[in-house]
Amino acid sequence: MPRLTPVMQQHAAAKSAHPHSVIFFRLGDFYEMFGDDAVLVSRELDLTLTSRNKGKPDEVPMAGVPHHAAHGYIARLLKKGHEVAVCEQMADPSTVKGIVPREVVRVITPGTWSDTPDLDEGENQWLCALHSKEGRLGIALFDLTTAELMAAELDDLSAALSELGRARPREILVGWEDSGIDEAENAEQKTQELVAEVKALFPEPAIHADSLISEEDIQQELLKLDSPHAGPLALSAAARVMRFARRCYRGDAPPVWRLSLWNPSGVLAIDRTAQAHLELVHSLSGEKGSSLLSVIDRSQSPPGARLMRRRLLAPLLNEAEINERLDQVAFFMEEQGVRHDIRVALGGLGDLERLAVRASMRELTPRDLGAIRRSLGAAQDVLTRLEASPEFSSQSWGELPEDCSALREKLALALVERPPAQLKEGAVFRQGFDGELDDSGELKEKGGEKITEFEAELRGTTGIPNLRVKYNRVFGWFVEVGKANLGKVPEHFRRKQTIANGERYTIDELDELAETLLHAEDRFRARELELLKDLSEEAQSWGARVHLLCAFLAQLDVAAALAELAVEADYCRPKVHRGLELKLVESRHPVVESQAARGRFVPNDLELEAKKNHLWLISGPNMAGKSTFLRQVALTVILAQMGSFVPAREAEIGLVDRVLSRVGASDNLAAGESTFMVEMRETSDILRTATSRSLVILDEVGRGTSTYDGLAIAWAVAEHLDQAIRCRALFATHYHELVELGESSESAENHSVSAKEHDGQVVFLHRVKPGGASRSYGVQVAQLAGLPESVLARARALLLSFEEKAAVRSAASKAKQPQLDLFHAPQDSRLSEVASTLKALDIDRLSGIEALQLLQVLKS
């Protein structure tokens, strides 16, 4: 091995301390990667691979990125599953003799990167840990950007998976309980199995095994967080996230305000497939634009937006709590003036929550401090406006939080109107805030004047009119006298330099003045830095209080936003109770009514009751509006239980414990696996987890396979829901054969979404009405879609013959097994098919070529 240069020794030390990370090694204005890291980044990031110490024995591959652009490269590496250790210069190279010290200051992973400029304001960024013991699990979620830490205990992995589906963490740590030395190996293996299991369902976040955690670790990590009611599994999981985060920050624990516990069984369960199918936070195509969240979120501040999202994904089960939230919305609906004013004020809140955390993690910039001052001003405006409103009953809101005005006042006294982004970019502090700063600032500013004064004074005492006090970089300040006046130069002037037309001198008084000027600049900078640090620390000490303030404001923001929505989009307050009814009058789909069918949405009623008619079978042609109706019912329940008003004229909602949904294969083309397999797996999950309090939405189940298979499965599933689970369910189907089930069951009812035939064309009315649909109108839809007339005519004829055969078959013997033998029909029936094809033909719509093509089909 060739001896390493001192810099490369630093690199080797960083790498050996962080063998699994790509080392971003700071050299001047670049981050350089060396050795294997260089090869890796050149491949992953398309960087040019060069080498350091070329041609020498210690030549090593190298690749680099400019330091100011590093974050984009880091983001790409994280996305590809790597982690990055940032090795910084720990001193200003210009002030250090010899080699600059370097240290790894941060390990960056997807769940701990809290200072990326790409943070999504509307979403928490969770780092998650699972801690497993004998089948049960603890789960913890930690958002380093808001300092929230939450934990819960779960009965099984499937409960954990649904929590993961809700939180969508960026990174998941998986660990096993340490239960004795001889089991250590076994535990390792079990952990790996668990990692694989989680990974199979959540391919996106980074998932890795976490090492064992001991009782002492737990004590140490959670030292400052008193949490008397947390169970041991929740505590272990919480300690895991904290330990991981602390390690990424070189042992400096990121701030955390408290450990809050949540009760997973207190939340309306929306399984992952339902969450996706109902397009709660993303549309199926992956965009955010047409999700329910994007339509309802009228929040004014980032903390409000995050709370809105969390509430939408975790609606409540408790009647009293739901009504409390609904009361808050109702308050803002009535108090329009208050709503308007506080929404305006909230618009100026900014991301105070994250700023407060940033204050605790690193020093704030002048601009950050200015932003905190502005945010606190907005917060105060909100609180003042609320207190001034006589109707504001503090009961349903809990106690008003501390308004943190002392911090705001301090910042207001200290900072100028618009503090610059960085020190050195302009004035940061107000005149009169700090005497020392003002003095050195004055000296600095007035330096020029002082020199001019001094020059005038010298001219006077020496009687040399063209004497000049000047500055250059080599000599600093000096006095310059022209040749003509050299005779008048006093004794105490010390000659420094002779120039073409005169002499340059220095004198003690000038040296002193120069010294003060220079120091003024230095002193000014140092004092500024000191004051900035003090203020940063001050802001930091308010962190927990600012957090509480933000939590309160977020609640207000959500309630006022939902009120705004309810007014604008004409929503009603749902009656929520513990019964098992579900009644909607003139219900609408919140997204479709605001987008695709804006202004012409047809409202529909729904009435499900426990024993009477808890299953609605909904038939009707394609494009009639079956899927839309199903989804709007589920969305309405979710909205109501999150504490929102709902898109209907009246709504009565018996609390639902789970929303389960399955959308037919062609409505949701899952990649990879056979769509039918996916469909059946999801359906079976639904049948296994639904309770009598659940709401099940099944849309075209059975579509992924051949007609008779599909019909049989759909039938059996519907029957099971109706008879065995006996929960509220909507079942949309294009098999009108299922109408029979609706007729024979006491507790199921047929409904159909109507379409009208008009001159051989279908007109969709989008109206759900009692009774089954008689026809599927598929051929008419095909016509609307522009299929050639020859094909349409043939299809009409085939349809007629299928229907006739079906009628004959069912009339002849219902006991006999149905035979699907349509294409091997006897000779005479083929002839009659030709006849009926011709009869069904619309010659006016037939082109010449189509006529020839049809003829060929008929002949063959």
Binding stretches for ligand ADP (CB under 6 A):
592, 596-597, 600-602, 620, 622-628, 753, 766
From ligand ADP, Mg ion, none, interface partner of 361 (C-beta below 5 to 8 A by class): none
Closest CB to Mg ion among residues 269, 730: 730
Least CB distance to ligand ADP at residue 597 (A):
4
- Residue 17 to residue 15: CA distance in whole angstroms: 5
- Residue 564 to residue 571: CA distance in whole angstroms: 10
Geometric angle at alpha carbon 129, from 258 and 673, rounded to 5°: 140
Least CB distance to Mg ion at residue 719 (A):
21
Least CB distance to Mg ion at residue 215 (A):
55
Asked if 740 and 613 touch (Cβ cutoff 8 Å), the reply is no
From ligand ADP, Mg ion, none, interface partner of 170 (C-beta below 5 to 8 A by class): none
User: What per-residue string of b and e applies to 765-800 under the rule 16 or more CB within 10 Å gives b?
Assistant: ebbbeeebbebbbebbbbbeeeebbbbbbbbbbbbb
- Residue 444 to residue 437: CA distance in whole angstroms: 10
Closest CB to ligand ADP among residues 548, 782: 782
Q: Which residues pair with 259 in a beta bridge?
A: 149
Closest CB to Mg ion among residues 523, 631: 631
Least CB distance to ligand ADP at residue 687 (A):
22
Secondary structure percentages of the chain, helix, strand, coil, to 5 = 50, 20, 30
Closest CB to ligand ADP among residues 38, 591: 591
Residue closest to 262 by CA, chosen among 139, 179, 366: 139
Stretch in the footprint of Mg ion (CB under 5 A) among 77-85, 126-134, 624-632, 786-794: 624-632
Least CB distance to Mg ion at residue 75 (A):
38
From Mg ion, ligand ADP, none, interface partner of 596 (C-beta below 5 to 8 A by class): ligand ADP
Geometric angle at alpha carbon 309, from 306 and 315, rounded to 5°: 130
Q: Write out the H or E segment, with its range, that includes residue 307.
A: helix 302-313
Least CB distance to ligand ADP at residue 752 (A):
10
Q: Which residue is nearest to Mg ion (CB)?
A: 627
Stretch in the footprint of Mg ion (CB under 5 A) among 176-184, 255-263, 454-462, 620-628: 620-628
Pairing of strands 695-699, 728-733: parallel
Closest CB to Mg ion among residues 472, 666: 666
273 lies in the binding site for Mg ion (CB under 5 A): no
Least CB distance to Mg ion at residue 708 (A):
21
Least CB distance to ligand ADP at residue 634 (A):
13
- Residue 100 to residue 88: CA distance in whole angstroms: 10
Least CB distance to Mg ion at residue 630 (A):
8
Q: Is 496 helix (H, G, I), strand (E, B) or coil?
A: strand
CA distances from 237 to 131, 136, 195, 196, 243 (A): 5, 12, 15, 18, 10
Alpha-helical (H) ranges within 133-268 are 157-167, 184-201, 215-221, 232-248
Q: Is 764 helix (H, G, I), strand (E, B) or coil?
A: strand
Across the beta sheet with 494-499, the strand order is 468-472, 476-482, 502-506, 494-499
From Mg ion, ligand ADP, none, interface partner of 694 (C-beta below 5 to 8 A by class): none
Least CB distance to ligand ADP at residue 753 (A):
6
Asked if 478 and 506 touch (Cβ cutoff 8 Å), the reply is yes
Q: Output the CA torsion sign for 617, 622, 624, 625.
A: positive
From Mg ion, ligand ADP, none, interface partner of 665 (C-beta below 5 to 8 A by class): none
Residue with tokens 């003002």: 438
From Mg ion, ligand ADP, none, interface partner of 592 (C-beta below 5 to 8 A by class): ligand ADP
Alpha-helical (H) ranges within 463-569 are 508-541, 543-569
Closest CB to Mg ion among residues 294, 627: 627
- Residue 305 to residue 13: CA distance in whole angstroms: 44
From Mg ion, ligand ADP, none, interface partner of 662 (C-beta below 5 to 8 A by class): none
Closest CB to Mg ion among residues 739, 781: 781
From Mg ion, ligand ADP, none, interface partner of 624 (C-beta below 5 to 8 A by class): ligand ADP
Q: Which of 114, 506, 627, 776 binds Mg ion (CB under 5 A)?
A: 627
Closest CB to ligand ADP among residues 506, 622: 622
From ligand ADP, Mg ion, none, interface partner of 196 (C-beta below 5 to 8 A by class): none
- Residue 753 to residue 647: CA distance in whole angstroms: 19
Stretch in the footprint of Mg ion (CB under 5 A) among 472-480, 535-543, 566-574, 621-629: 621-629
From ligand ADP, Mg ion, none, interface partner of 698 (C-beta below 5 to 8 A by class): none
For residues 709-728, which are near Mg ion according to CB under 5 A?
none
From ligand ADP, Mg ion, none, interface partner of 602 (C-beta below 5 to 8 A by class): ligand ADP
Closest CB to ligand ADP among residues 369, 730: 730
- Residue 322 to residue 825: CA distance in whole angstroms: 61
Closest CB to Mg ion among residues 206, 701: 701
Closest CB to Mg ion among residues 40, 623: 623
Closest CB to Mg ion among residues 555, 627: 627
Q: Output the CA torsion sign for 567, 568, 570, 571.
A: negative
Closest CB to ligand ADP among residues 437, 633: 633
Closest CB to Mg ion among residues 654, 704: 704
Q: Please name the residues in contact with 174: beta carbons below 8 A apart, sequence gap of 6 or more.
A: 129, 130, 132, 191, 194, 195, 198, 207, 208, 209, 210
Asked if 51 and 62 touch (Cβ cutoff 8 Å), the reply is yes
Stretch in the footprint of Mg ion (CB under 5 A) among 255-263, 272-280, 626-634, 766-774: 626-634
Q: Write out the H or E segment, with its range, that includes residue 637.
A: helix 626-642
Q: How many residues bind Mg ion (CB under 5 A)?
A: 1
Q: Which residue is nearest to ligand ADP (CB)?
A: 625
Least CB distance to ligand ADP at residue 665 (A):
13
Geometric angle at alpha carbon 240, from 234 and 244, rounded to 5°: 155
Least CB distance to ligand ADP at residue 745 (A):
22
Least CB distance to Mg ion at residue 331 (A):
39
- Which residues bind to Mg ion, rule: CB under 5 A? 627
